[in-house]
Structure 1
Amino acid sequence: MSRTAEISRETAETQIHLKIDLDGSGQNDIKTGVGFFDHMLTLFARHGLFDLTVKATGDVYVDDHHTVEDVGICLGRAIAEAVGDKKGINRYGSLSLPMEETLVTSALDLSGRFAFVYKVAFPTEKIGTFDTELVQEFWNAVASNVMMNLHLVLHHGSNSHHISEGVFKATARALRQAVTIDPRQPGIPSSKGTLTG
């Protein structure tokens, strides 16, 4: 069973082409024009063991917002398509991840319903030229397009780079848990018999 998806999105603000393989090995080819964001997406692919290709061109002369949010939309749609009918998946995933002085928890449910709880406060407004508020925008876009519950909690941390890295790594590993096939559970992992909302 191939659990892959390919999404293209073109607006007046961005042009994006994204491919994902949920059963990959972490291979990635990412070029968004936003250096720090490329670094975070690379970490996401490597820690989730997702093969991920992202080619994005956006109006970064304005700022990075449209590019980051629209890549999130595409990634969310691709994950939803690749996971398919959700038969046999674990459905839930969670991880508390240490990143030096930082500790982040990511917990998610591929429920077919959207909820996003974000309790992450960055000590700085920027990481280099990257606006730290875009971390929230990105994961909100991903979660709302996957149609999943996603809870992100920063327990402690003082370095903005480490906090962002913790969020991306923890969510990658939580998602990896959730999409993994459980051979003991061949059907839909829900007493309702559906995970479509």
Structure 2
Amino acid sequence: MRTAVIDRNTNETKISVKLNLDGKGQYEVKTGIGFLDHMLEQLSRHSLIDLTLACEGDLHIDGHHTTEDCGIAIGMAFKKALGDMKGITRYAHAYIPMDETLTRVALDISGRPFLVWKVNFPREKIGEMDTELFEEFYRGFAFAAGITLHVENLYGVNSHHIIESCFKGLARALRDALEIDPRKADAIPSTKGTLGGSL
């Protein structure tokens, strides 16, 4: 089983993450930000990654550190759980519709972190959460996990639908990219022989 436990403590946040890449989409998430909890639950459920996360953050300031650091901590656990990455499908993409919204997510579990974020929100807040913080989450996750990640909202007018389609798109793409290819289960999917991040 590809599992990991991470504890990440700073002066701004204290986060513990337990993750199982070969799970059933079971989750227990407590960040202190209700809408972020909802999105991380979607990520777990639709990727089939089991996720337990508890965060105590400086929410008396705002939600920035909590949101970004949760992305970093989940990414760290993801990378640790992947191990040597033998046999993974590596590349995947997903198109996720949600009512009037359509979002495309494409990724490469490459060891080379990068984020392309083409998502605009009609509203500055969803509930009490600033919509600009979602890019911080995705950047933190992609760079800590070592993933090349492209997220583009193709169209949509409802901010809730837009970001939920992003998280579901990430989930479905991760689910496919993490699958073990039975034809190459013992091989790292790279002509270099490694996915450790070297160019």
Give CA-to-partner distance per residue, 1:51-97, whole Å, 9 cap, x none: 10000000111111101111111000111011110100000110010
Measure the CA separation in 1 of the matches of 2:10 and 2:196: 28
3-state SS of 1:54 partner:
strand
Q: CA deviation at 1:147?
A: 1.1
Q: What 5-or-longer segments of structure 1 have no aligned partner?
A: none
TM-score by structure 1 length? Answer: 0.98
Q: Secondary structure at the match of 1:17?
A: strand
Q: TM-score, normalised by structure 2?
A: 0.97
Shift of 1:128: 1.2
Extract unaligned runs of 5+ from structure 2: none
1:145 aligns with 144
The answer to whether the aligner puts 1:45 opposite 2:53 as a matched pair is: no
Partner of 1:74: 73
Paired position in structure 1 for 2:195:
195
Local SS of the residue matching 2:110: coil
SS in 2 for 1:184: helix
Q: CA offset at residue 174 of structure 1?
A: 0.3
CA distance in 1, matches of 2:110, 2:9: 28
Q: Deviations over 1:147-194 (max 9, x none)?
A: 110000010000000001000000011011111111111201111111
Q: Which residue of 1 aligns with 2:181?
A: 182
Following superposition, the deviation at residue 42 of structure 1 comes to 0.3
Give the distance between the partners of 1:13 and 1:76, measured in 2 at CA. Answer: 18
* Superposition CA RMSD, Å: 0.6
Q: Which stretches of structure 1, 4 residues or longer, exceed 4 Å deviation after superposition? A: none
How far, CA to CA, are the matches of 2:102 and 2:54 in structure 1?
A: 31
Structure 2 partner of 1:163: 162
Distance 1:37 1:166 in 2: 14
Percent identical pairs in the alignment equals 54
